């Protein structure tokens, strides 16, 4: 709600902030409201004060900002965890080829034919189809698991990779022994090997697609800087690469251009769009002596700037470092499936050794080998490989239909544990643009005054002008025709209606005309200002007709979101750069539990860390670049879809719309999907706990023995159960309106 009492632009030291406006690229309303003084933190990122971002040691070289191509997530190679050295494209290509090769392996498998009651056609060489193609599947499709299993052995941290590699290796060796007639064993596992590798590749492909790219945020930040800059010389200007700039250079920044470096304006005045830095949509009027920040845009006029910081010393580079540091500090949750796989590895290995020893001691070596191989093969559950990826994939699809994009594989799991949701105020809980909230006319005819104000503003595209025209239209008023429109830079606007001159503007306009506010109007305007609203006056010639209050309206859904979160036992906090009285007014209206006001952009992630230091698990909801470090620092970062690319990349979750109630959908989906994960894991693990002893022959004395074929069939049925259970997530209702 960036709206506060109007102040003349000649008092930039005023600490209060004002109404957020959309960047319109005009100079006609810089004081036209709501206000001209600047928000704390609008300039500070580029200041020279000790402790500011500019004085931070540059850990990221930011001087070479040529265009960065979009990262290709499919081909991006992951460097950490069980997927180190792997890419989504690798698992995808191996899955499809393995799937194609698996079809003839299953079709020509004698065991499958026996189970289904058919006989595959025989011809010269047909007996070698399953072993040859099975070997290709083992060596090609199984390569990622074999390499991963070796690495887990070296790290002494057995997990899914080692469990899969053990199963496919035993199946491979036993199948070749059977094919070559060695030992007289009947252990044809070629079809089981093929299906196991295929299903595991599918599961890991699905999982890899859910992995987020931590580098995306840094690429988006770097892309905010232009590739070239216009440097002033004695003979005019020259175009140079941004990397060639040095402190002390003088630049010409044209209308619509981005600042290539931090600097101070030496000549000219222009409104700068700082939304990519401050997260606030209002363009800020800058003139000689004012600092400007790299990445911001001069929207309406050209200015001359003296460079004060380049490369790694800029505020933008400082934010980039904060994002990188926050991402690096995020905890890495161990996947549930990996924990289950580690348990099953020890369980299967121990059961296999015990099975061989017992049967060997009984004097039946062939049966000992058969039972042991069966145990080791069926101990690797197809279902476990899909238990988590299937739930993640379906959850991602369901979330997307609800306007929620899940970018981080652990964000979904973490959301159910969140203790507090920290909302950035502007554009999240509020509309992020000015709206006319109240009107007051000296003669009591507020509708006439509003219609005249709308007539003056009809030809302007400024956000404040649009708000006034929209308010008149919503009240069913018809604005009279106006002509001779003129923008009064830094003061407001004027136009002629029916031969009479009318003006609309803030305190600077009254000061310029030396007009005093009527006593009867002052009571209303002071009340508006006290709650942080911006005040605009409507004048006929030099007579004040009345005033309008403009505020960043609270979204109707915000009240429902706050109360619904609290009803679920989740506290709600709010963070903003606004003055405290403005923040407190919004918090009081919404019933928010805790407020962080007057927070500089660089300090937002510090507030997240402060909450975490209390032992709270934090979900942060924001939309600006300055939110990016906080989004990355939070246990769950949630970016509003209308925010910048950087905010989107830094967050684990992105809301496609601006409805804060979508956070409720995320909470419900997190809790439901977590239940499904555990149900699937319990089923997949429980199947092994029960089937392995049967495969080992524990009940052989009673005539109950689980044959290799029966074990393989039960394993497939287990996979089907897990898949169907995951599908039940599709019945979950995620419409925000139904959750409040």
Q: What is the pLDDT of residues 123-173, one digit of tens each?
A: 888 888 989 999 999 999 999 989 988 988 888 877 767 877 887 888 888
Q: 713-734: buried (b, 16+ CB within 10 Å) or exposed (e) per residue?
A: ebbeebbebbbebbeebeebeb
Residue span of the structural domain in which 642 resides: 404-429+555-656
Q: What is the CATH number of the domain that holds 583?
A: 3.40.50.1000
Domain check: are 455 and 531 in the same one? yes
Domain check: are 416 and 559 in the same one? yes
- Determine, yes or no, domain membership for 72: no
Domain check: are 513 and 587 in the same one? no
- Determine, yes or no, domain membership for 71: no
Helix 365-378 / helix 160-179 crossing angle, nearest 10 deg: 140
- Determine, yes or no, domain membership for 79: no
For residue 340, the model assigns a pLDDT of 67
> What is the pLDDT averaged over residues 469-496?
88
Domain check: are 121 and 204 in the same one? yes
pLDDT in tens, 78-125: 444 445 556 778 888 999 999 999 999 888 887 777 777 788 888 888
Domain check: are 92 and 196 in the same one? yes
- Determine, yes or no, domain membership for 17: no
pLDDT in tens, 210-236: 443 334 445 566 677 788 999 999 888
Domain check: are 513 and 537 in the same one? yes
- Determine, yes or no, domain membership for 275: yes
- Determine, yes or no, domain membership for 140: yes
Structure tokens at 129: 């189809």
Q: Count the domains in the chain.
A: 5
Domain check: are 466 and 529 in the same one? yes
E-assigned strand segments in 330-428? 404-406, 420-424
- Determine, yes or no, domain membership for 347: no
Q: Which amino acids are annotated catalytic?
A: 424
Structure tokens at 347: 């369980």
CA distance 159 to 138: 19
pLDDT in tens, 663-713: 998 899 989 988 888 888 888 777 777 888 888 888 877 877 776 656 656
The secondary element (H helix, E strand) that includes residue 262 is: strand 262-267
| CA max distance for the chain | 115
E-assigned strand segments in 362-488? 404-406, 420-424, 430-441, 483-488
Domain check: are 273 and 335 in the same one? no
Best CA proximity match to 423, nearest among 668, 295, 599: 599
Q: What is the CATH number of the domain that holds 482?
A: 3.40.1110.10
CA distance 381 to 350: 16
Domain check: are 533 and 521 in the same one? yes
Write phi, then psi, for 424 (nearest 5 degrees): -75, 140
Asked if 660 contacts 429 with a C-beta cutoff of 8 angstroms, the reply is: yes
CA distance 341 to 542: 80
Of the residues 599, 622, 656, the one at which a domain ends: 656
pLDDT in tens, 299-334: 888 999 999 998 888 877 766 664 554 444 333 333
Of the residues 538, 553, 568, the one at which a domain ends: 553
Domain check: are 208 and 93 in the same one? yes
Domain check: are 157 and 195 in the same one? yes
Global confidence as pTM: 0.56
Write phi, then psi, for 372 (nearest 5 degrees): -65, -45
Question: What's the pLDDT band for 629 if we cut at 50, 70, 90?
Answer: confident
The beta-carbon contacts of 242-248 under 8 Å, at least 24 apart in sequence, are 242/63, 242/65, 242/310, 243/63, 243/64, 243/65, 243/311, 245/307, 245/310, 246/307, 246/310, 247/307, 247/308, 247/309, 247/310, 248/306, 248/307
Of the residues 656, 691, 719, the one at which a domain ends: 656
Mean residue pLDDT of the chain comes to 76
Q: 371-380, 588-597, 730-739: which has the highest mean pLDDT?
A: 588-597
Domain check: are 579 and 695 in the same one? no
Structure tokens at 254: 């044209």
Beta bridge partners of residue 438, listed in sequence order: 549
Q: What is the CATH number of the domain that holds 298?
A: 2.70.150.10
Query: What percent of the chain is modeled with pLDDT above 70?
Result: 75
- Determine, yes or no, domain membership for 230: yes
């Amino acid at each position: 709600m960036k709206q506060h009492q109007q102040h003349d632009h000649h008092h930039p030291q005023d600490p209060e902030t004002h109404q957020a406006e959309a960047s319109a690229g005009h100079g006609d309303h810089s004081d036209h409201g709501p206000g001209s003084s600047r928000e704390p933190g609008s300039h500070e990122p580029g200041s020279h004060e000790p402790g500011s971002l500019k004085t931070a040691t540059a850990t990221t070289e930011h001087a070479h900002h040529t265009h960065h191509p979009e990262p290709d997530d499919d081909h991006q190679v992951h460097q950490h965890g069980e997927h180190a050295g792997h890419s989504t494209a690798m698992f995808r290509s191996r899955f499809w080829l393995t799937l194609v090769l698996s079809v003839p392996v299953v079709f020509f498998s004698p065991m499958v034919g026996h189970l289904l009651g058919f006989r595959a056609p025989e011809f010269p060489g047909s007996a070698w189809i399953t072993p040859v193609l099975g070997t290709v599947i083992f060596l090609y499709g199984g390569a990622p698991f074999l390499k991963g299993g070796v690495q887990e052995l070296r790290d002494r941290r057995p997990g899914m990779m080692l469990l899969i590699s053990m199963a496919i290796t035993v199946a491979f060796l036993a199948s070749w022994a059977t094919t070559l007639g060695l030992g007289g064993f009947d252990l044809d596992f070629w079809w089981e090997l093929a299906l196991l590798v295929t299903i595991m590749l599918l599961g890991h492909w699905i999982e890899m697609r859910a992995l987020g790219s931590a580098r995306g945020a840094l690429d988006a930040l770097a892309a905010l800087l232009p590739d070239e800059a216009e440097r002033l010389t004695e003979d005019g200007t020259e175009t140079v690469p941004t990397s060639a700039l040095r402190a002390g250079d003088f630049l010409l920044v044209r209308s619509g251009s981005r600042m290539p470096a931090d600097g101070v304006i030496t000549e000219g005045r222009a409104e700068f769009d700082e939304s990519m830095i401050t997260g606030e949509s209002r363009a800020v009027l800058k003139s000689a002596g004012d600092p400007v920040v790299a990445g911001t845009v001069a929207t309406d006029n050209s200015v001359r700037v003296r460079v004060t910081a380049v490369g790694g010393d800029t505020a933008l580079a400082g934010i980039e470092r904060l994002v990188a540091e926050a991402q690096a500090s995020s905890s890495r949750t161990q996947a549930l499936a990996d924990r289950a796989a580690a348990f099953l590895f020890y369980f299967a290995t121990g059961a296999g050794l015990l099975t061989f020893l017992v049967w060997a001691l009984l004097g039946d070596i062939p049966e000992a080998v058969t039972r042991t191989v069966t145990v080791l093969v069926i101990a690797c559950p197809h279902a476990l490989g899909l238990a988590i990826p299937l739930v993640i994939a379906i959850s991602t699809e369901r979330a997307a239909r609800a306007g929620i994009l899940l970018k981080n594989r652990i964000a979904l799991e973490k959301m159910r544990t969140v203790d507090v949701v920290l909302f950035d105020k502007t554009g999240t809980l509020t509309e992020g643009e000015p709206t006319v909230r109240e009107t007051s006319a000296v003669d009591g005819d507020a509708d006439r005054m509003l219609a005249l104000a709308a007539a003056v503003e009809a030809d302007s595209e400024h956000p404040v002008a649009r708000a006034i025209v929209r308010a008149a239209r919503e009240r069913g008023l018809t604005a009279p025709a106006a002509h001779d429109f003129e923008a009064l830079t830094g003061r407001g606007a004027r136009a002629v209606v029916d031969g009479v001159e009318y003006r609309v503007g803030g305190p600077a306009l009254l000061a310029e005309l030396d007009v005093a506010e009527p006593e009867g109007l002052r009571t209303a305007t002071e009340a508006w200002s006290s709650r942080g609203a911006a005040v605009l006056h409507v004048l006929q010639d030099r007579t004040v007709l009345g005033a309008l209050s403009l505020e960043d309206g609270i979204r109707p859904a915000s009240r429902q979101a706050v109360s619904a979160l609290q009803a679920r036992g989740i506290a709600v906090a709010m963070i903003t750069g606004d003055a405290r009285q403005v923040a407190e007014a919004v918090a009081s209206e919404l019933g928010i539990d805790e407020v962080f006001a007057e927070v500089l952009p660089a300090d937002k992630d510090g507030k997240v860390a402060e909450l975490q230091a209390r032992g709270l698990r934090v979900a942060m909801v924001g939309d600006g670049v300055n939110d990016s470090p906080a989004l990355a620092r939070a246990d769950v970062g949630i970016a509003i879809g209308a925010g910048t690319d950087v905010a989107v990349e830094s967050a684990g979750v992105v809301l496609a719309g601006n409805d804060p109630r979508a956070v409720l959908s995320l909470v419900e989906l997190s809790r439901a999907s977590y239940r499904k994960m555990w149900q699937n894991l319990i089923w997949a693990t429980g199947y092994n706990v029960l089937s392995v002893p049967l495969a080992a022959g524990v009940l052989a004395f009673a005539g109950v023995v689980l044959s290799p074929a029966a074990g393989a069939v039960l394993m497939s049925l287990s996979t089907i159960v897990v898949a169907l259970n995951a599908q039940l997530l599709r019945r979950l209702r995620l419409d925000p309106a139904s959750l409040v």
